[in-house]
A and B are shown apart, each in its own frame.
Chain A
Amino acid sequence: MSNNMAKIAEERKAVEQLKLEVNIDRMKVSKAAADLLAFCEAHAKEDPMVTSVPSSENPFREKKLFCAIL
């Protein structure tokens, strides 16, 4: 009996949550996706994986070790 009541309570909560979600404002995909594109483009230069940085500015560049035989 109480198991059924628990299921009902759960389902009620799920319905209340769905009611909240149904009513949100939704932006047109054309605008939302265009904004993502614009963000990528605007930040491409700061993205070292998109715009490669010169070795001198790469803190992880290979450490070149030179050994001198004395």
Chain B
Amino acid sequence: MSVFMDLNLSFCADKSRLRSLIETAAHLGFSTVAVNYTFEPTAKKKQEIPAPMPITDLMDQLPVVQGRSRPIRVLNRLTVVMSDSSHFRPTAPEYRRFDLLAVQPTSEKLFHVACMTLDIDIICITVTEKLPFFFKRAPINGAVERGVMFEVSYAAAIRDATMRRYTIANATSLMETCKGKNVILSSAAEKPLELRGPYDITNLGLLFGLSDGDSKEAVSSTCRSAVLHAETRWTASGIIRTTKTCSVTPIQQEAPPEESE
């Protein structure tokens, strides 16, 4: 029994809908979910990065995951839709409040920059329109070495038939170049009806061109690697992490399997 994760649940201001989303995810068997706040900066005016809602605010008791005895774990994630390289500022203090950082590049140059240099965990692949650029081996291999994951989301495919074509086309071209490594499949679900169980998503991965083993990993172990990669951003070279307690002492943490320099 492996740990299934869904790292993209769209945030909506309606608390009851978010609550039912998390409950459905727990019922389906996902051990960890991440609530995704999308941020689309426009060049015209300065916009604030949304602050994540604390989980205790949302529901006081998290539902227990189907088939396990622990409650579901809910993380916060920020996705920045980049149309310019100045949109993502690596040292902005607001980013510290999120557990996962993701970027959605819209041009080839930005994709290259995101793969090679930006300090992020996930790169989202657009599924709602035809890819404006082709994937090249060099930046993808660089990203794989650094531990950055590529994400394909499937809720658009469930909603609409043309989106389905774009999703499958974009996902297949990604798989050709990256050979199935470092891929995450997640829903970008806004309603609880758009979530699907982990075995169904594994099967969807086969449609996209992943192999059997890669497809199951895309829902379980690669997601876990992404979460661990995000945790290393808080640490000093992946080994030591300090947290505030009553007395100021550094707490040692084991080096996670994937660490970034």
- B partners with A: no
- Give B residues with C-beta under 8 Å from A: none
